[in-house]
Amino acid sequence: MIGLGQALIFGILIGGVYALMATGLTLTFGVMKIVNMAQGAFLIVSTYLCYALWQHFGLDPILAAFLVMLPMAGLGLVVYKLVIERLERIDPGLTIVATFALALIAEALLALVWGPNQKTTTPPYFNQAIHIGGLVVPRAQLYACLLAIAITVALRQTIKRTWLGHAITAASENPEGARLVGIEPARVGAWIFAIATGSTAFGGAALSFLYQFTPDTQDVWLGVTLSVVILGGLGSVAGAFAAGVLLGVAESLTTAYVSVRWATAVPTLLILVVLTIRPQGLFTRLTRQDAAT
Amino acid sequence: MTTLLRRAWIPVALAALIVFPLVSGDIYYQNMLIVTFMLAIGASGWNIMGGYAGYLSLGNSIFIGLGAYTTGILAAKDHVSPFLGCFAGGLVAAAAAALLSLVTRRTRGMYFVIVTFAALQLFGVAATTASGLTGGSQGLALPLPTWSLSYQDWPFYYPMLGLLVVTVAVAAWVRRSKLGLGLFAIRDDEDKAAGLGLRTAVYKMIAFVLGGTFVGIAGGIYAYYVTFLNTAAVFDIVTSVLIVLAVLLGGRGTVWGPVLGAFIVAPISNLTSTSLGGADAGAIRLLLFGGLLGGVALFLPRGVLPVLSRLLPARPPLPVRRGQVPTPVASRVDSGAVLVVRGLRKSFGGLRAVDGVDLDIARHEITGLIGPNGSGKTTLFNLIDGTIPSRDGTITLAGRSLDRAGRPARAHAGLARTYQLPRLFGSLTVVENLVVPARRFAFGRLWTGRVTPAERDRAISVLDNLGLAPYADSSPADLSYGQRKLVELAQVLWLDPVLVMLDEPAAGISPALSARLADLVRSLHQRGVGILLVEHDLAFIADLCQRVCVLAHGSVIAHGSVADVSTDVAVVDAYLGDSVIPAVRS
Amino acid sequence: MTKRVLCCAVAVLATVLAGCAATTSSSGSGSGPLTIGMSLPLTGPNADVAKAGYQGYKLWAAQVNAAGGLLGRQVKLDVLDDGFDPNQTGTDYTRLISQDKVNLLLGTFSSLLNAPASAIAARQQMLYVEPSGGAASLFTRGFTNLFFAQPGTTASLPNLFVQWFAALPAGQRPTTAAYVTQDDPSASPAIAVFKAKLQALGVKTVYDQTYDPSTSNFDSIAAAVAHTRPQVIIQGAVGDDGPQFVRSLEKLNYSPKMLFQTNSPADATYPTAVGARNTEGVFTMEAWSPKASYPGNADFVASYTKTYGTPPSEDAANSYTAGQVLAAAIKAVGRIDQKALADWLHTHTVNTIVGPLKWDATGDPLGTGLLTQWQNGTLQVVAPKQAATSATIVNPKPGWSAS
């Protein structure tokens, strides 16, 4: 048995990583209510791009993420315009199918370009840790967690303080009303989708030095990120961060005190429990709009 | 000739499938067809819940897995023939389906998708962990078939084909029954369906169980066919996705669409994996599959079958027979209060939408409910009919407490309502829309036809009264806004309610329709039905209502005759104050 | 009238279906190339393994053909993809047998896929030589045509390490061990054997846990292991879980005296993933080593490297070995008779690049693999003596270094 303190540190750090992976999905799933099955694929595409920059130019993956962000945002824009916008009008169920198809296509293209072998980046901090007293704080996880906090704060500020943020809030809470004041929900949607996809660059960078990856790694992360957003409640960036940490801690404590075998089932169990008992998520309040529809 | 084609293709295709293994003797094609039958059974089963009721599940592999493991464990440990064991598998799958529908009864839309996805993963973990029973990660080996190789795979082929026929027959039967009518209503508007007295949770459970049972049996036969079970491969998300793909491709909600979809998807999946060579073959296969999936979603969103059936001649329209106008139900001459509401409260966050409302609706009066926007009128309706649960306050309808009753139970008690914007079931015809409401739940009635001849005659006469008989077999989308409001009112009449709540019945409709509507309300009133109506059109209110209640900020601030209330200072304040300072509402 | 049309339609459809079945199937016997069928997981989570395995098969076929083929016929491979899906594997082998009418079969990768494939081969009475799939459950189904083309199964995997361990002077022998394994048919049974054998030698078990194959985060597990301060860590590692666990140990700065991992340390990416200097002293078990001096091995390594530009992996060697086993049987029997080939293999020893192979009645090989250890950046064979490439064994394992 490891100490509770150590288990909590691991849990919080890995929770930060989960939150980082889920940042994009909080916006698409949370605000736009789009189930984007390609989130894992976007993440792993970012990972490969960061890996390529690290391998060819020796660029630190975290710095590389800032470069990768732009093409990813562009990709998000294209996907939104060509696929999402069109299908959301017909049947949101089809969006699930189409984004799942996108994930398959992305996996195939990655396999064609980089092959099926395991890859990883090893910046100097990848296997180092800071030892404080008897406690261990792995540097890689710490950086990923700080990145998660930074992005959460940045997204929150964007939503709270900028015109785009207000437009996003308006469009998600009341599309008809938003249209009346000149905000076209579809255009706002494109922006959200671009930002969401762009932000996967950071999750991707963290993934590149935390884990080994192959093109089909996307499956694993899709499940984790979905649970983070569902637990967090829709549209709440801070809620998603809290949910990530909750998930990480639950997993870490399960590993330490219950059974290693059940640790990977924790996200699944939490989803089931939360959705059957509190369908609106842990960190949101029921609003009048939710009730009326 | 075309009608002959239309009728003949099913027996022809079936006969060809029966004859085929005897003629060909190629077990590869038998294998491909067995896999296709399996997918078609899965797709048809899924379609009952996913297509008819609109609940997209990613958890159908659970039923395959439970059927397969039950059969496998019985065969490997207790030497039960898999051909018997598969029925036990079907039962286990049915039980799991019932349990799952119970757990997910409040989960809808994308959450349902995710819950079923999570449930699938959980079943996988549980099956791996229960290694004493399932062999865990080591897998479970079934005995090999013992019949002579000269029988090829017939003992798998024919049971699977038979099961497919049964599954499709059941799916077709459900679609034509009252159960199917209810499921389609649930797909279009579940809350409304519940408000019309459908016990939606029961409908969904039956749909789920029917879908799961056959898939479970098929899973059992399939287990024997593959002879080796592994939790990761059996409780597999990919199988679930293939099932969904087959249904979407073929045509959701149709009887033959899922089968057609399976006959496209399974061979393609098979051929791409067996025809491509080279180390990159896998990636190319994923690319093809992803492309197909995406292409279907983008370019054939309604599936192949609906597109195909447009090419075939349409069925002749049903004759419109007009029956006798039904004599009104014996009017209840009773002057007591039909609805009594005491201390009803509801808050959203910090906002008190309804704040201690007391209300008495008498049978002999038409009561109007007025108040500024945001004063809580619709929330009050939602609380009374059970759309929003409330903990504070009591509601009594005709002497029966409704506090613990769900929405369908309230409808059964005789409560009916209309909505601000009419909510009709878009995938049902006008007549079908009319006959959805039910004052009681009867299990046996679920299996009768969607619209019995008697119901049809009665419905046509009701529509005739409203001047809508020519639209009997049209889609609600072909009606004008006002006509839809009339049909919604007709649904309410069909329920034979004791209390009707009308939410802005006259808003946005022509004066002629408005007059017809007012007549209807009056005739209801004469039959002794209590009426509570929300309306902004004060002339309409003054014309109809004997009594008016005024709501502001969630409380009743005045009630009495129209004349009394319109001079009340508080009422004038509420209206003026609110329009001057709209910010109060946020 | 209606009935006649129906009958005609049925007849037409049935003939069309049967017709297309007939045209696509090729005749299998007689002259022409000898087709050998296999289904490989060219996509999915084990695609990296399969690619090397496929190349091993291709190299074997090319070499056989360059030497004049088998029974005077050229060898042609018929390769299908199963996406690491056992059901598809079954479909694929059914197709190979009934549709493509291949003359012979060769096996696929992992116990998961070989289980359904070997059952179909057994049912169709075809010889089945598999390059991988050492789970004990495969050899308890009474198949007489199944042969595992590796020196040992998971059950015999711990033997060499345990022998070396037992031979250490009592004072130097570690007394505590931690066991952690992925829930996988190729890993968890071997770890159970390890535990039983080391416990019999008086080694106390301080930690024993099995993790799910989808586990990605090993920090907590590693911390729990480190907390018990085991002198030996034995991990049943199948893929990236091996390096991932080591990376977590590195962060904790906990280095055991001995570290044994199944499979993972032999992966080409292992040194990059854990840091090149941190491989020092890590033990693993291999069916094959590029350095082993068995006849043909050096030539195999050279040809493979020349053809594909990368040195062969263990998987490539395993599929090459499976080919060698098949070829030996055909040459000895002199005809394609599935039963005769299986009978011959049950009674003879085959010399391959992984050493001489010999099987019991269930197809379970009667040998044991190679105990290898990372030394100065290369994986050296340290046991058995006759195959060893390094005379020394690093003990204890040095601590971790930062990069």
Q: What is the pLDDT of residues B217-227, one digit of tens each?
A: 999 999 998 88
- pLDDT for residue B193 is more than 70: yes
Cβ–Cβ gap B233/C87 under 8 Å: yes
Summarize pLDDT for C362-381 with one digit per residue, the tens. 888 988 889 999 999 999 99
Report pLDDT for C192: 93
Confidence category of residue C235, pLDDT binned at 50, 70, 90:
very high
Residues of chain B neighbouring C79 (CB-CB closer than 8 A): 277, 281
C394 pLDDT higher than 90:
yes
Q: Which residues of C touch B137 (CB under 8 A)?
A: 183-185, 188, 213
Interchain proximity C211–A216, CB inside 8 Å? no
Q: How far apart are CA B310 and CA B323, in angstroms?
A: 32
Mean pLDDT on B38-61: 92
pLDDT digits (tens, 9 = 90+) for B404-432: 888 888 888 888 998 888 899 988 999 99
CB contact under 8 A, A35 and B294: no
Q: Indicate the pairing of strand B555-560 with strand C34-40.
A: unpaired
The residue in chain C having the minimum alpha-carbon distance to the alpha carbon of residue A18 is C217
pLDDT at position B279:
59
pLDDT over 70, % of chain A: 92
pLDDT at C338: 94
Q: Note the pLDDT of residue B582.
A: 37
* pTM as predicted: 0.84
The DSSP annotation for chain A comes to ---HHHHHHHHHHHHHHHHHHHHHHIIIIIIT----TTHHHHHHHHHHHHHHHHHHH---HHHHHHHHHHHHHHHHHHHIIIIIHHHHHH-HHHHHHHHHHHHHHHHHHHHHHH-SS-B----TTTT-EEEETTEEEEHHHHHHHHHHHHHHHHHHHHHHHSHHHHHHHHHHH-HHHHHHTT--HHHHHHHHHHHHHHHHHHHHHHHHHHS-B-GGGHHHHHHHHHHHHHHH-TT-HHHHHHHHHHHHHHHHHIIIII-GGGGGGHHHHHHHHHHHH-TT-SS----HHHHH-
Residue A180 pLDDT grade (very low, low, confident, very high; cuts 50, 70, 90): confident
Model confidence at B3, in pLDDT bands (50, 70, 90)?
Answer: low
User: Inter-chain contact B115–A271, Cβ cutoff 8 Å?
Assistant: yes
- pLDDT > 80? residue B567: no
Contact criterion met (CB < 8 Å) for C9 and B29? no
**Greater model confidence, C17 or B410:** B410
Contact A122 C275 (CB under 8 A): yes
Q: Does A2 touch chain C (CB under 8 A)?
A: yes
CA distance C381 to C373: 7
Give pLDDT, residue B581.
Answer: 37
| Longest CA span, chain C | 97
Q: Do B293 and A275 touch (CB under 8 A)?
A: no
pLDDT mean over A157-180:
76
Give chain B positions within 8 Å (CB) of A264.
Answer: 125
User: What pLDDT score does B164 carry?
Assistant: 96
Whole-angstrom distance, CA of residue C338 vs CA of residue C51: 28
Whether pLDDT at B208 is above 80: yes
Rounded CA gap, C156 and C148, in Å? 13
What is the predicted pLDDT for the residue at B323? 52
B330: left (phi > 0), else alpha (psi -120 to 50), else beta?
beta
B·C CB contacts under 8 A:
151
Out of A2, A115, A120, closest to residue C227 by CB: A2
pLDDT tens track for B219-276: 999 999 888 888 877 888 878 888 988 898 888 889 999 999 999 888 877 776 666 5
Which pLDDT score, from 0 to 100, does residue A177 have? 73
- Please name the residue of chain B whose CA is at the shortest distance from the CA of residue C25: B26
Residue B584: what pLDDT? 33
Contact B129, B136 (CB under 8 A): yes
**Interchain contact C331–A (C-beta under 8 A):** no
Mutation site, C217, C249, C255, C403, interface A, largest A CB count within 10 A: C217
Return the pLDDT at C5.
47
Q: Which residues of chain B make contact with A176, given a CB cutoff of 8 A? A: none
pLDDT at C18 over 50: no
Q: Which of B15, B136, B274 sits opposite C183 (nearest CB)?
A: B136
Angle, alpha carbons C82-C214-C397 (nearest 5°) = 110
pLDDT of the residue at C17: 47
Report residue C327's pLDDT band, with 50, 70 and 90 as the boundaries.
very high
3-state SS, B153-187, equals CHHHHHHHHHHHHHHHHHHHHHHHEHHHHHHHHHH
Range among A251-255, B39-43, B333-337, B514-518 with highest mean pLDDT value:
B39-43
pLDDT, residue A277, reads 78
Position B274 scores a pLDDT of: 60
User: Of how many residues is chain B composed?
Assistant: 586
In chain B, what percentage of residues exceed pLDDT 90?
24
Picking from B121, B244, B349, the nearest residue to A287 by CB comes out as B349
pLDDT band at B333 (very low <50, low <70, confident <90, very high): very low
Determine contact: A260 vs chain C, CB below 8 A: yes
* Chains in contact with A via at least 3 Cβ–Cβ pairs below 8 Å: B, C
Alpha carbon of A287: minimum distance to chain B alpha carbons (Å): 6
Distance of residue B148 Cα from the nearest chain A Cα, in angstroms = 42
Of A66-80, B297-311, C45-59, where does the model show the most confidence? A66-80
CA distance A95 to chain C (A): 24
Mean pLDDT to the nearest integer, B570-585: 52
Instruction: Say what the pLDDT of residue C22 is.
Output: 42
Quote the ipTM score.
0.82
pLDDT value of residue C45: 67
C partners (3+ CB pairs within 8 A) are A, B
Residues of chain B contacting residue C51, judged by C-beta atoms under 8 Å apart: 279
pLDDT of B123 > 80? The answer is yes
**Do the chains contact at C13 and B16, CB–CB below 8 Å?**
yes
pLDDT tens, C133-184? Answer: 888 778 888 899 999 999 888 888 899 999 999 999 988 899 999 999 998 8
Looking at beta carbons, which pairs linking C327-330 to residues 24 or more positions away fall under 8 Å? C327/C60, C327/C64, C327/C70, C329/C127, C330/C70, C330/C71, C330/C104
pLDDT, average across residues B28-39: 89
CB-CB under 8 Å, A261 with C183:
yes
Inter-chain touch C137–B12, beta carbons under 8 Å:
no
User: Which of A124, A211, A260 is nearest residue C244 as measured by Cβ atoms?
Assistant: A211
Q: Which residues of C310-324 are buried (b: 16+ CB within 10 A; e: fewer)?
A: eebbbbbbbbbbbbb
Q: What distance in Å separates residue C206's CA from the closest CA in chain B?
A: 22
Would you call C212 an interface residue with chain A, using a CB distance cutoff of 8 Å?
yes
SS3 C180: strand
Residue of A nearest to B390 (CA): A291
At C302 the pLDDT is: 95
Question: What percentage of residues in chain C have a pLDDT greater than 70?
Answer: 91
Q: Do B121 and A265 touch (CB under 8 A)?
A: yes
Q: What integer pLDDT is reported at residue A106 of this predicted model?
A: 93
Q: How far apart are CA B496 and CA B453, in angstroms?
A: 19
Residue A167: the pLDDT is: 80
pLDDT at A222: 79
For residue range B471-483, what is the model confidence (pLDDT) as tens digits? Answer: 889 888 888 888 8
Q: What is the mean pLDDT of residues B554-580?
A: 71
Task: Tell me what the mean pLDDT of segment C224-233 comes to.
Answer: 93
Per-residue pLDDT band at A2 (split at 50, 70, 90): low
Answer for the pair B499, B530: CB distance below 8 angstroms, yes or no. yes
The rounded mean pLDDT for chain B is 84
Q: What is the pLDDT of residue C26?
A: 40
Q: Is A135 in the C-facing interface, judged by CB distances under 8 Å?
A: no
The alpha-helical segments, DSSP class H, found in C259-313 are 270-274, 297-308
> Which pLDDT score is estimated for C341?
95
Chain-chain contact of B245 with A269 (C-beta, under 8 angstroms): no
Name which of C61, C37, C46 is nearest C307 in CA terms.
C61
pLDDT confidence band for C21 (50 / 70 / 90): very low
C272 has a chain A CB within 8 A of its CB: yes
Of the candidates B13, B26, B236, the beta carbon closest to that of C21 is on B26
Q: For position B388, what pLDDT does the model report?
A: 83
Q: What is the pLDDT of residue C340?
A: 95
**How confident is residue B92, by pLDDT bands cut at 50, 70 and 90?**
very high
pLDDT in tens, B344-392: 888 876 778 888 888 888 887 888 888 887 788 888 888 888 888 877 8
The partner residue sitting opposite B273, judged by closest CB among C50, C82, C116, is C82
Q: Do B282 and C95 touch (CB under 8 A)?
A: no
B202 pLDDT higher than 90: yes
Contact criterion met (CB < 8 Å) for B15 and C6:
yes
pLDDT of the residue at B524: 84
pLDDT band at B579 (very low <50, low <70, confident <90, very high): very low
